[in-house]
Structure 1
Amino acid sequence: MSTKIAFIGLGIMGLPMAKNLVSAGHQVTGYNRSPEKAERLALAGGAAASSVAEAVRGAEVIITMVPDSPDVEAVMLDEDGVLAHAEPGATWIDHSTIRPDVAVQVAQKAREAGLKPLDAPVSGGEQGAIDGALSIMVGGEQTDFEAVQDVFEGVGKTIVLVGPAGSGQTVKAANQLIVAGNIGLLAEAVLFLEAYGVDTGSALQVLGGGLAGSKVLDQKGQKMLDRSFDPGFRLELHHKDMGIVTSAAREAGVVIPLASTVAQLIASTVQRGDGGLDHSGLFTVLEDLGGRNGTTS
């Protein structure tokens, strides 16, 4: 079935996701603050809108993919935002990664305005978005979730309803905690291997075949070996996500010492001006802490 979709936020993740929805046969109109991104969607067979109001006009499904909680609140609640212009009965899918409490609050306002809200953050990075192979953790009502399965299947492979509104964001916070910890430990392992003059490429290959193997190792290991940190997911965004994790854990009374440590390491990388690097660029601050600066013994 072809669904009329408004897609708001066409960044590193949003644009390939919107393109995949076009490829799946949906009618996709995109809006982005930088209009050239919407034009790139138009070139791929979608349509470009010059405002949120234009994008959501007549849309059956409205998707947001913006950087942070205040961005979601602005896109949804501002005078010229989604709630002011969306058709009652439309489904709102928020693929952004935001605070769980904000997800609950905005979902309630969306439902009061006649929309069907689903918080549905994703994991898989830029390559997962390009491949249409994202993992999607969804919070919301079962019937609303089931009604848009074809839309989710246009961008993801592992799609799970994890609970009521806000649950998707809670699971995504846990995801970001695990990913950050894996990146930090992988960086330390690479530095350890280099210090002993091991063939690091071969070492990562064999580690990847055992219990130490992970998608983080597969996708980020070579980037560390090459010291190549072009962004697939920027450190400044992971810094924001770790703030969500530590804040939510504090509110729940959960002790997360390892997450707190890696959150501080990510914060220090961002504060020194490297927030635009891929999150595997956490390697750089650990390298500097050890005083190795790319050297091997």
Structure 2
Amino acid sequence: MSKKIGWIGTGVMGKSMCMHLIKAGHQAFVYNRTQSKADELVQAGAVWCDSPAQVAAQADVVFTIVGYPTDVEQTILGENGVLEAAKPGTIVADMTTSEPSLAKRIHAACAEKGVAALDAPVSGGDLGARNATLAIMVGGEQKTFDAVSDLFEIMGENIRLMGGPGAGQHTKMSNQILIAGTMIGTVESLLYAHRAGMDMDEVISVIGSGAAGSWSINNLGPRIAKGDFDPGFFIKHFVKDMGIALAEARAMNLGLPGLALVNQFYIAAMGQGYEELGTQALFKVLDSMSSGGR
């Protein structure tokens, strides 16, 4: 059955995710800070709205996927935000990677107005968004999850309710911690192969099918090999995610030295002006560092 969908955030991933819902027959009401980034969705039948509140006033389910926790808070709880206009019974699903504590605050604020909330961050990057193969990690109540699971299934393949409010974000932090480790391994492995005079694509085809195989080597490795550092996921957003994970770890009195080290390398990448590149551009940083900046 067709639903009225609100979609806020039409960037690298959000546009593809919303497009899947439109193609599945759902009516979409969309907002993005840069209107032109929603043009393709509007051409496909989405209705442009001038604010998150205007989106929420017309939708039964509102999805948000924006940049930073401050953006999430403003979009949902702020002036002209989703909660200002959402009707009782509306479901708000934030798919941004954000803070577990904020997810809990949003859930509580929504509950006071009779609105249900889920934190539902995703993993899979731009490829997963385009191919509708995302992993979707959800926190919230079972009945709310059940009410929108059909929509999640249009956007992803591995969808799971992980627990109460904030549990989706905690799961995403576990995901990002693991990715940080595999990214440094991917980059160092390919940099070694490159310096040894090997064909990086050939190396990837062998090691990517063995015990060293990972999503990073098999999906981002070929991009590195051809010098493609365009973003499937921005470095600036990965630094944000690692910062959240490190802060949560400190609150647990938990040390994560591997994550802390990789975080420093990515901060160096931002210092070199690479914040708008994809996470695979860590290769450029380590290549420069190990060659004395040549």
C-alpha deviations, 1:86-125, integer Å up to 9, x for none?
1111111000011111111121111112111000000010
Question: How much has 1:293 moved relative to structure 2?
Answer: 6.7
CA distance in structure 1 between the aligned counterparts of 2:100 and 2:229, rounded to whole angstroms: 29
One-letter amino acid matched to 1:36: S
Aligned partners of 2:292, 2:186: CA distance in 1, in Å?
16
Q: Map of 1:1-297 to 2, 5 A cutoff?
A: 1-291=1-291
Are the aligned partners of 2:56 and 2:83 in contact in 1 as well (CA < 8 Å)?
no
Q: Give the TM-score normalised by the residue count of structure 1.
A: 0.96
TM-score, normalised on structure 2?
0.97
Residue 38 of structure 1: CA displacement? 2.7
Q: Give 1:77 shift.
A: 1.4
Q: CA deviation at 1:227?
A: 2.2
Secondary structure of 2:188's match? helix
Paired residues of 1:208 and 1:218 also in contact (CA < 8 A): yes
| 1:234-276 alpha-carbon deviations (Å, 9 max, x no partner) | 1000010010111111111112111110011111111221101
Maintained 8 Å contact 1:235/1:277: yes
- Deviation string 1:37-74 (CA, Å, 9 cap, x unpaired) is 23321111222112222212231101111111111110
Q: Which moved more, 1:16-25 or 1:33-42?
A: 33-42
Amino acid at match of 1:72: V
- After TM superposition, give the deviation of residue 182 of structure 1 in Å: 0.9
Please give the alpha-carbon distance, in whole angstroms, between the structure 1 residues aligned to 2:70 and 2:234.
18
2: CA distance, partners of 1:39 / 1:283: 33
SS in 2 for 1:118: strand
Mapped contact 1:56–1:85 kept (Cα < 8 A): yes
Identify unmatched segments of 5+ residues in structure 2.
none
> Which whole-Å CA distance do the structure 1 matches of 2:117 and 2:28 have between them?
19
Structure 1 residue 195: deviation in Å? Answer: 2.4
Following the alignment from structure 2 to structure 1, what is the Cα–Cα distance between the partners of residues 37 and 192? 42
Q: Distance in 2 between matches of 1:153 and 1:269?
A: 35
Report how many residues are paired: 294
Structure 1 runs (4+) greater than 6 angstroms displaced: none
Question: What is the alpha-carbon distance in structure 2 between the residues aligned to residue 262 and residue 254 of structure 1?
Answer: 17
Give SS of 1:29's match: strand
Measure, in 2, the Cα distance between the counterparts of 1:136 and 1:146: 14
Q: Quick check: 1:38–1:49 contact (8 Å CA) kept in 2?
A: no
Deviation at 1:152, TM superposition (A): 0.6
Q: Determine the C-alpha separation between the residues in 1 that align with 2:143 and 2:106.
A: 19
The answer on whether the counterparts of 1:39 and 1:47 sit within 8 Å (CA) in structure 2 is: no
